[in-house]
Amino acid sequence: MLKTLVKFQNRDERGATAVEYGLMVALIAIVIIGAVTLLGNNISSLFNTAATTL
């Protein structure tokens, strides 16, 4: 019984960490895409106004 507990206690958790990082990157990408989609036209007109004044 003790050997079974030690096996579960010393397991490798690198795979779980990679999955967590992958989920964080995916969520950040979704937020960035959403922000660019919502603010894209406003930012484009702002840059066009700045370009014409220069």
Give the pLDDT of residue 39.
86
Q: Look up the pTM and report it.
A: 0.54
The four Cα atoms 21, 26, 28, 29 give a dihedral, to 10 degrees, of 140
pLDDT at 41: 80
Q: Residue 12: what are its φ and ψ, rounded to 5°?
A: -85, 125
Query: pLDDT tens digits for 1-54?
Result: 556 655 666 666 666 688 889 999 999 999 999 998 888 888 888 899 999 998
Rounded Cα distance between 19 and 51, Å, is 43
Rg (CA), the chain: 24
**What pLDDT is attached to residue 26?**
96
